[in-house]
Amino acid sequence: MDRDSHNTVQTVNAFLTHLASERRLSPHTVKSYQRDLSEARTLLGSQPWDTLTVHDMRSLAASLHRQGKSSKTIQRMLSTLRTFFRYLMREGLARDNPAMDIRAPKSGKRLPKALDVDQVSHLLDVGASNSEPLALRDQAIMELLYACGLRLAELLSLNLDSIDLHESQLLVTGKGNKTRQLPVGKPALTAVRRWLKVRPMLIKSSDQNALFISKNGRRLSPSSVQQRLKRHALERGLDDHLHPHKLRHSFATHLLESSGDLRAVQELLGHADLATTQVYTHLDFQHLAQVYDGAHPRAQRRKDDDK
């Protein structure tokens, strides 16, 4: 071991002792600091700690980002280095703290989870024959959420005159009070028709014009829909937590996979900015990549070579 390497190890060990004895951090936390510093040293090479610059810290963060590390992981590494350099400055072993003002690259927007086509079919087909009023209402709600990609607030704001059963269209009021006309598929229309036949059984006031009402005759609340969806998912064997937005995500993902028409999906979802819709292109690419890896002969050959 050369002199610089020996001094580096000694310095890090002294810092870890400082954390354990002076700051009385737990062994688990001290081990985390040790692991971060070891990884940082591997990426930074043999350059002495006191010669590292802001540029080196930025390069380190960029390297971790390229490796696919999350923003949270990179931020933790930088926090470790800031604490370490504060210790070095206190001991007179460094003049400044190059990690002080470095921030982790922002993580990309978390991709929404979607049900696959088989899961949606199972959710909507199982129990479709139940003729109880609330079951018919819930079936119509789930069919519309998936058929039209509605936001929960948009669903709850629907009135009786929002849907044109003859023309198979739905008039939706979205964000910014903007309206959009949406086509409605046959299964959703059938479910709505079945619900409308029993809706009068729950009516308490003749002036109630909400399309979907509670057993007490009032317009449904967000929590009511969320709870009912969760219940139906559990009853039908879906492991993932089902919420209204997941059906909206599923609508967008399946439509984009089939059509590839991002602009049309944007219009149907009611997104003002195409960039908001583009998150679904990542989901679609994941699907295409899986198909490619599973079917393309050269991709298969590459995978075999990696074994």
Which residues carry out catalysis?
A: 151, 175, 245, 248, 271, 280
Strand residue runs (E) in the chain: 163-164, 169-173, 179-183
Residue 180 structure tokens: 């959009």
* Alpha carbons 299 and 307: distance in angstroms, whole number: 13
DSSP annotation of 273 reads S
User: How many angstroms separate the CA atoms of 167 and 181, rounded?
Assistant: 11
- For 96-131, letters b (16+ CB in 10 Å) and e give ebbbeebebbeeeeeebebbeeebbeebbeebbeee
Of 162, 147, 143, 181, the C-alpha closest to 219 is 162
